[in-house]
Amino acid sequence: MPYTDLPPDHPATRVEPPAEPADFDAFWEKTLRTARAAGGAPRIRPVDDCPLTTVDTYDVRFPGWNGQPVAAWLLLPSEAEGPLPAVVTYLGYSGGRGRPTDHLLYASAGYAHLVVDSRGQGHDTPDAHADGAPHWVHGFMTRGMEDPHDHYYRRLMTDCVRAVDAARALPHVDPDRIVVQGASQGGGLALAVAGLAADRVAAALPDVPFLCHIRRGAGTATEGPYHEIVDYLRHHAPGRQERVFTTLGFFDGVHFARRATAPALFSAGLMDPVCPPSTVLAAFHAYAGPKEIREWPFGDHAGGRGATAVEHLLWLRRRGLAPEPR
């Protein structure tokens, strides 16, 4: 696969950042205040039929957007005494939380691990719009494209912030050592939470993050969900692109990165056709907290593949966020 974006040594790789909506902070302050006012504590129950013996598994339901219940898995090292550092994982596009056996890395390394379902993308958290009807079809980028108040990512990003609120209240979790993590869409969501809940996040691990410099992504990605924007503008909203990109600006990782303060380890695949590296670098350069990036010169959208997990664990250890040896 060739370089689909600018090669890493090109001087234009550092692209002009996207314009930020003037009322960005007010929009998100009101959104999160309203969600938190809905209240509610997380509910947790053991998954009794899970065959794992070294990891204890729990089904968690916590209030997200508009107080609507969001599903998650909590995985703990068996016989953990805590309080443990916790990793909150957000998932890739069109994927849900799956099965507990899909998510063994962090609990095996001694962390509490909260895996958050994505509303409407998985099967355990429907996306209920204002009319109360659940929506399951794919095409999330264009839901509510004309108004940020109606956009899908307002609801999903609110869920993700509320997941950190919930994690802080869970048994065995150290509320001062919460790490947000994800790849692709999950990486973009981790960036959003790092910016929106900067006082509650100890570190961020955004891998090949989606939703960064969205306008550039729509113009350079050769695969993946940025094409939904292109199709929408081509067929449904000719001449309305400024309105569309203003809406999407409320969900752009570059703007969240400017508000984040926790240490972050980014990654980018320099042959990534889904999240072109210049979009990732735009968020990385904007990130306000201490930051590092792992660039994979021949990496596609899988980035560093299995090497990424090793990088994560070693980096967290150097940052003093590793569990105590048992």
Catalytic residues: 184, 272, 301
| Contact by Cβ (8 Å): 258, 286 | yes
For the chain, the helix, strand and coil percentages under 3-state DSSP, each to the nearest 5 = 35, 20, 45
Whole-angstrom distance, CA of residue 92 vs CA of residue 188:
9
- Residues 199-202: contacts with CB within 8 Å, 24+ apart? 200/164, 200/165, 200/168, 200/175, 201/164, 201/260, 201/262, 202/85, 202/176, 202/177, 202/178, 202/262, 202/263, 202/321
Token pair 């380890």 is found at 265
Q: Which amino acid is at 256?
A: F
Helices 152-167 and 24-37, interaxial angle, to 10°? 60
| Contact by Cβ (8 Å): 115, 75 | yes
Other beta carbons within 10 Å of 131 = 6
